[in-house]
Amino acid sequence: MVSTHSKKEPHSKGSLIHDNVQEVAILGNLYAHNDDRNPLFKGGTTGVFANNLIYDPGRFAISAGAAVSEWEGRTPPPLPRLAVVGNALLGGSSTRLKAFVVANSGGKSPLGGAQVYLADNLLTLRNAALLPETGPQITRLETAPLWPEGFQAIPAARVKDAVLAHAGARPLQRDEVDTRIVAGVRDGGGRVIDSQEDVGSYPAVRAALTRHLDVPEHAVAAWLRGLSDELVGR
């Protein structure tokens, strides 16, 4: 979590949706062993977070709001407006949450508030404690402020199996890191780590295929134009 990061504070983090980024859809993903940003929507953002599986979050699951200290002397952006629907959260050995959606980044820049629509989110902690859906400064909306056209969320009870089957760039041919993480979620194992050495270092990566390329030393521009014409003509 801290490792070699210059801030010398926990820095195991997932997704950051930065200030004023609009209409972000995060659908069907696996967030595993992130201490924070599962994800974080900053000021002025709008987004939909649906059918995701959050496993073993540390201090915070979903965080939302502008970092107040970053806007000192300026007008901060408006409150984030989010739809959070059909997600599953499973506590793990590192989990110490106070609420599912909070307005607190966990660092030196406390967040402002947010407006959030919540529906059908399944929140399961190891100690069977009841996790509140929202913390202070979160205003609950009666309807979703935005929604992807044609998207239909599946029930939260089906999310774990669906995400573990399909998440990742190559779910049918996962590398050893993805395989380890998914297996840990299935078995209820793993934790937030401080270094890659905690899980056996970086994996061995096979060299990519290469081929020789002859580029004329004094006619690079002409060669590039010819290559472009060739590709366009295919």
28-85 pLDDT, tens digit each: 999 999 999 999 999 999 999 999 999 999 999 999 999 988 998 999 899 999 999 9
State the pTM of this model: 0.82
- Give me the pLDDT at residue 46, please: 98
Provide the pLDDT confidence category of residue 231 given band limits of 50, 70 and 90: low
Contact between residue 11 and residue 1 where contact means Cβ atoms under 8 Å apart: yes
> In this structure, what DSSP letter does residue 13 have?
B
Provide the pLDDT confidence category of residue 5 given band limits of 50, 70 and 90: low
Phi/psi for 84 (5° steps) reads -120, 105
Phi/psi for 192 (5° steps) reads -70, 125
Contact between residue 18 and residue 46 where contact means Cβ atoms under 8 Å apart: no
Nearest to 63 by CA among 93, 28, 27, 31: 31
Distance separating the N- and C-terminal Cα atoms of the chain: 49
Nearest to 48 by CA among 17, 21, 82, 14: 82
Nearest to 153 by CA among 56, 57, 65, 87: 87
- Give me the pLDDT at residue 49, please: 98
Nearest to 157 by CA among 117, 124, 180, 199: 124
d(CA 39, CA 61): 7
> In this structure, what DSSP letter does residue 63 have?
E
- What angle do helix axes 176-187 and 159-166 make, rounded to 10 degrees? 160
**pLDDT over 70 (residue 10):** no
Contact between residue 122 and residue 91 where contact means Cβ atoms under 8 Å apart: no
**pLDDT over 90 (residue 218):** no
Question: H-type helices in the chain, by residue range?
Answer: 159-166, 176-187, 220-233
**Preceding amide of 39 cis, omega within 30:** yes
- Give me the pLDDT at residue 78, please: 94
Nearest to 106 by CA among 131, 141, 135, 78: 135
> In this structure, what DSSP letter does residue 218 have?
T
Q: For the chain, what are the domain ranges?
A: 16-206
- Give me the pLDDT at residue 220, please: 82
- Give me the pLDDT at residue 228, please: 74
Provide the pLDDT confidence category of residue 13 given band limits of 50, 70 and 90: confident
Look at the alpha carbons of 114, 107, 51, 132 in this order and tell me if their dihedral is positive or negative.
negative
**pLDDT, tens digit (0-9, with 9 covering 90-100), for 97-151:** 999 999 976 566 678 899 999 999 999 998 777 899 999 999 999 999 999 999 9
